[in-house]
Amino acid sequence: MAAPLTPLQGIRVVELAGLAPGQFTTWIMTIAQFHWPSNILEIGPFAGLMLSDYGASVVRIDRPHPRAHSQSKAPPAPTLDALTRHKTSISLDLKNPASKAVLLSLLSKADVLIDPYRPGVLEKLGLCPTTVLLKHNPRLIVARMTGFRRDGKYKDMAGHDINYIAVSGVLSLLGREGEKPYPPGNILGDFAGGGAVCFQGILLALLARQTTGKGQVVNANMVDGSAYLATFPRLARQTPMWDRPRGTNVLDGGCPYYDTYETKDKGNYFAVGALEPQFYAELLRGLNLEDKDLFPPGSNQARQDPDNWPYMRSVFEKRFKEKTRNEWAAVFDGTDACATPVLTMDELEKEGYDQRPVVGLSGTPGLGIASDNGGWSGGGIHPGSGGEETLKNWLGWHRGKDFDVHNGALVKVKVDGAKL
């Protein structure tokens, strides 16, 4: 039985990696010993990962390595980038015209180029999207991702997820009452506001190309991406839902029936989201509480009144500590109380809870994530891994006839002006 078509089958993507300025590369190598990834190594590969998970052919361009593409030596160590599922790699030296010619040949057949670096890097390499790349291939979509906007106050500054969501206004929303803003890992800026938003931009450009027949430049940045994701709290600031200081609103930890509670087995927690009256009633039923138990004497007994929230929270805190997390799970499983255990990544991995593509499509499904042990391990690609097969599939090229290897990088055979 033939495998089903994937939604991006036939789409060819070139993903740039390892082309950052020298001082940044040095910094990456310095922190590598501590196993700290850089956001620059995340946002582009994450967009490429989403494309590859839905069937696009994604080839990653890595830096030259003495053992890359070697037929006699062990392959290079895997890259620090863990987001390499379903991808292939070739090593290029873009300072060498014969190696740069390989990239241009790929781009002549590509649909998408992912550029994850700070403004000006492609231009310094002689690969300006508008004056070079789109003239070379008018159907090419050049997806450019930055942290800050390409215009404005911060455009020439370095930064990380925390900085991008800080200037977007989103970080100011996150944290407990009376405490400093709390960064949510690097999920909101790097991945959601960066890589995933860029993926959407690429899909929009592919749709537009069906009408216009032309590619274009997709400019994505994590400031605008994360700010757009925060559209609801931005607009809700003028409503009772989010018109109070950080940590005192309905959805940011202020409301006692939309919060987390430690259970009897210390270090474990239960999440409660019983906003609607019918769900709130189910929550009280499971906790064996009555309405009157939740309010101090003489109060108006209105659960929506923030003045009552501290007392209500104290009652919930005391009650949840009477049972373990699993005991509460047994109480609330199958109910509409909007009460669930806070499961850890370690638990989910141990239980074999597999990761799946971000959306399921019945007719043209994604490729799945079995190759990464259900999404719990994997990543890192050997520079040069599978890349020559990609050259054969895209261009019909063969080693020795159309390209060769020079100093750990692929070079095109017979290129005018090339000095090997």
Residues ≥6 apart with Cβ < 8 Å to 194: 39, 42, 43, 46, 47, 145, 147, 164, 220, 221, 222, 225
Residues ≥6 apart with Cβ < 8 Å to 99: 64, 92, 93, 406, 409, 410, 411, 412
Residues ≥6 apart with Cβ < 8 Å to 148: 154, 155, 157, 159, 163, 164, 167, 221, 222, 223
C-alpha angle 117-123-129 in degrees, rounded to nearest 5: 85
Q: Which residues are catalytic?
A: 190
Instruction: Name the token pair of 266.
Output: 């210390």
Measured in degrees and rounded to the nearest 5, phi and psi for residue 169 equal: 90, -10
DSSP run (H or E) holding 47: helix 40-53
Instruction: Name the token pair of 31.
Output: 């922190």
**CA end-to-end span of the chain:** 48
Q: What is the DSSP string of 115-177?
A: E-S-TTHHHHTT--IIIIIHHH-TT-EEEEEESS-SSSTTTT----HHHHHHHTTSGGG-S-T
Q: Which of 39, 311, 239, 407 shows the shortest CA–CA distance to 31?
A: 39
